[in-house]
Amino acid sequence: MTNSTTYADICVARAMLKTLGLPTEIVLEILDYAEYVPVLKFTDAGMRRCVARMGDGMVAQLCLDADVLTQSTIRTLKASKVKTKVQGLCFDFTSCDQGWTSEGTQGSFNTSSWLEVSILRPEDPAKDLAVSKQFLSEGKGTAEDLQRAMEGTGAMFVKRAVGLEKGPQVGEAPIAWYLQGNCVSSDVRHYRVAWERFGELGNERSENEESGSGPGTGLVATLREGDKVLVWARAKYPGWKCTVVNIEMTVRYRFEEG
């Protein structure tokens, strides 16, 4: 996790602009235009791979465990006296599938190899959660498996709205948002997906079928203090693989006073 502009830094910038005799509304517009906001980057430079085999048709590999709004992160932002919100998420990563298929979908995003995002929430937002390291080292546990493993620990997965499942997610528990499908190709590709918070309804950008990405509808607006964000590599049906390399998530924050 990288360092960022803190709440104290923003207060200093506001005070400096106010000395020019500018009204508060103009000061805030200037800071917004300059994108002078807190930004943190969460990374995993390793390679995560999951492979669906015969008799094991649905697999996942946790490839990023990010303390997006945990108390430790809020302390880093020096924002203990204000409400901390997420303004946007941007995911950068390299990934690929197994490079072949017998289904005639070569070159398309009609795939059973994808990435998805979950929100893990503590019952008590003042307590930080720890995810078992087995889910970072073993490619067998899905979000549902982790949910069962964490029963009684004071943690829960946030459910997405009904009807937001995509492709291979149909029939699974609604505890993950579809991030990106791998193009059915022998090429390793770089992907960038940005989910923004446009108002309280979380009406993020529309789904882009041509790029294979999901819209993330409601996820950013759903995040609250205490939450972790988990990114999963997924594969479904025998023969499918999902390999993810060098994933980075950039988080832009905002503060609410009062």
Residue 65's pLDDT is 92
Between residues 159 and 239, which one has the greater pLDDT? 159
**Residues 10 and 133 grouped into a single domain:** no
Domain total of the chain? 2
Instruction: Answer with the residue of higher pLDDT: 105 or 128.
Output: 128
By DSSP bridging, strand 177-181 and strand 113-122 are antiparallel
Tell whether 130 and 198 lie within a shared domain: yes
24 and 71 share one domain: no
* First-to-last C-alpha distance (Å) of the chain: 28
Do 156 and 30 belong together in one domain?
no
3-state SS of the chain is CCCCCCHHHHHHHHHHHHCCCCCHHHHHHHHHHCCCCCEEEEEEEEEEEEECECCECEEEEEEEEECCCCHHHHHHCCCCCCEEEEEEEEEEEEEECCCCCCCCCCCCCCCCEEEEEEEEEECCCCCCCCCCCHHHHCCCCCHHHHHHHCCCCCEEECCCCCCCCCHHHCCCCCCCEEEEECCCCCCCEEEEEEEECCCCCCCCCCCECCCCECCCCCHHHHCCCCCEEEEEEEEECCCCEEEEEEEEEEEEEEEECC
Q: Are residues 18 and 48 in the same domain?
A: no
Q: What are the structure tokens assigned to 204, written together?
A: 């993020």
For 216, the token pair is 């993330």
Q: pLDDT digits over 10-31, tens only?
A: 888 888 998 998 888 888 788 8
Decide if pLDDT at 207 tops 70.
no
User: Is residue 159 within 8 Å of residue 174, measured between CB atoms?
Assistant: yes
Residue 203 scores a pLDDT above 80: no
| Residues 205, 137 share a domain | yes
Whole-angstrom CA distances from 113 to 2, 70, 102 are: 30, 30, 14
On whether both 116 and 15 belong to a single domain, the answer is: no
Q: What is the mean pLDDT of the chain?
A: 83
Are residues 46 and 17 part of one domain?
no
User: Tokens representing 46?
Assistant: 């390793």
pLDDT tens for 49-85 read: 888 876 666 788 889 999 999 999 998 888 778 889 9
Q: For the whole model, what pTM was predicted?
A: 0.85
Residues 117 and 194 in one domain: yes
Q: Kindly state whether residues 29 and 137 are assigned to the same domain.
A: no
Residues 126 and 167 in one domain: yes
- The whole domain housing 20 covers 1-36
Residues 52 and 9 in one domain: no
Distance CA 111, CA 117 (A): 17
